[in-house]
Amino acid sequence: MIDAPFIEIEDLYFSRGDHEIFRGVNMTIPRGKVTAIMGPSGTGKTTLLKLIGGQLTPERGRILIDGEDVHRLSRKALFTLRKRMGMLFQSGALFSDLDVFENVAFPLRVHTDLPDTMVRDLVLLKLQAVGLRGARHLTPAELSGGMARRVALARAVALDPELILYDEPFVGQDPISMGVLVQLIKRLNQALQLTSVVVSHDIKETLSIADYLYLIADGQVVAHGTPQTLDTNQDPRVSQFIHGAPDGPVPFHYPAEAFYSDILGGAPMTKLG
Amino acid sequence: MEALGRAGIFLFQSAVGVPSREGWRLWLHQMHFVGVLSLAIVLVSGLFIGMVLALQGYTILVDFGAEQALGQMVALSLLRELAPVVAALLFAGRAGSALTAEIGLMKATEQLTSMEMIGVDPLRRVVAPRLWAGFVSLPILTVGFSVVGIWGGYLVGVEWLGVFEGSYWSNMQANVAFVSDIGNGMIKSVVFALVVTWIAVFQGYDLVPTSEGISRATTRTVVYSSLAVLGLDFVLTAIMFGGL
């Protein structure tokens, strides 16, 4: 069912300090589909996107994008590869010294020799698609978090990339722009034949647009499949996440010593007086 | 040691290379930000330091009846020592700290990361124009510092204290050598420019991207640059004038 993968992740290991984030992750991300990577907060979903984008280097294993090993490319080849990718950051990460229009125009100006009039048309088209054509003269500081994310989306697709990486696209969106965004990701994917990777923990929205899902927890892929197969998956870790149970095999608490002994037996009591 | 290695690679990757047309535009923009906007503080300081030098120098020289040598004393102190050193210290405080904070904040808000993901190397786009603006502008600021300082010395020495104007200028002309005084002063200034800008930009690029990280890195820029300038000044003076 997975044909011609665009991204292949093989036996990926990564840690930060003593904290192991990935322990042997394997994934194949199909071309032209929306693949969602889900998992509880702190499982390293954003880290995974940074590994795919070549900003972090794994300790073991490799990541192939369209057959090229991301971490074996020269710096120059890596930057060339990145022209074929767009990434939507959680914060938007707009350039604060440029206004909305120039932010979206930035990739066009640095990577193409298009005349100004054409850059203008393209930028306005992209801004129209995210509903912010009227906001073109605002600076990033004047935008709300949700608007900034939409401008960032327009910027990410400015060069019509083949791959878009979405880092938590639904966080902090109001219901209307959330709906718009869900539609936008889906439409973009169909219209431009993109490969999309969506990292998210918003289950409902993600299930509605994803063609394929990977669920990661404890540094490993715990389940993968289409939204339908995951919905009926009996693995307690999967059903806990998909159905949103507060505690279960995936603990709510960060690892700590037992609550009572921590509270009662912690620091020695200081004498009063 | 490891940080020094990283800083070296960082300097090489960003400073070496042929700038594009866009690169020149960005450099000019930074020349304004780093150089032109530092002019006021550097020139005003130069004026006061020249005036103080003349005042102090006069009170000492007049005891020996040697106040005619005031021009030479003011000019040599400025050209050899005070202009390169004080301009570099002011530059570290005014422009260096701003560079660190600006690049640091760009890092903390993921602007550098997003630039990388757009396929633009931030070392070339963000760091290189700032480095070169610093390299070029500090020596120019140093020249300005000396010129204004010598004029300040003239104001106090000649206009106020009544030293003969002809001897102020002619003694200066006779005793200031182009290569050993002006040239060596400029070499110092170029070295300080490299070191201060390198420290400032690297501290910004390498910091821990939190508010505390930015504040620490900005402090480190000023402290490290000042110590490096004063330490290197001693070494360079020993080599240039100490007969080493």
pLDDT of residue B191: 96
Q: What is the model's pTM?
A: 0.82
Q: How far are the Cα atoms of A70, A188, A198, B242 from residue A61, in angstroms, in the given order?
A: 11, 31, 22, 58
| Chain B residues touching A111 at Cβ < 8 A | 119
Cβ contact, residue pair B118, A110, below 8 Å: yes
The single-letter DSSP state of residue B78 is I
Considering only the beta carbons, identify the residue of B22, B114, B120 that sits closest to A93: B114
Mutate to test the interface with B, among A110, A153, A168 (most CBs of B within 10 A): A110
- What integer pLDDT is reported at residue A250 of this predicted model? 63
Q: How far, in Å, CA of B107 to CA of A55, rounded? A: 13
CB contact under 8 A, A93 and B113: yes
CA distance, residue A158 to nearest chain B CA (Å) = 10
Q: Are B31 and B136 in contact (CB under 8 A)?
A: yes
Identify which of B124, B90, B111, B115 has the alpha carbon closest to the alpha carbon of residue B19. Answer: B124
Whether complex ipTM tops 0.85:
no
3-state secondary structure of A68: strand
Q: Do A110 and B114 touch (CB under 8 A)?
A: no
Query: Which parts of chain A have pLDDT scores under 70?
Result: 1-3, 245-253, 266-273
Three-class SS state of B234: helix
User: Are B120 and A95 in contact (CB < 8 Å)?
Assistant: no
What local confidence, expressed as pLDDT, does residue A232 receive? 77
Mean pLDDT by 10 residues, chain B (244 residues): 83 79 88 94 96 94 90 93 96 95 92 88 90 95 96 94 91 89 94 96 92 94 96 94 72
Of B109, B119, B125, nearest to A96 by CB-CB distance is B109
Classify residue A217 by its DSSP letter: E
The closest of A101, A94, A187 to A144, measured between CA atoms, is A94
Instruction: Give the C-alpha separation, A193 to A32, whole Å.
Output: 5
- Is B111 in the A-facing interface, judged by CB distances under 8 Å? yes
CB B163 within 8 A of CB B69: no
pLDDT at A246: 65
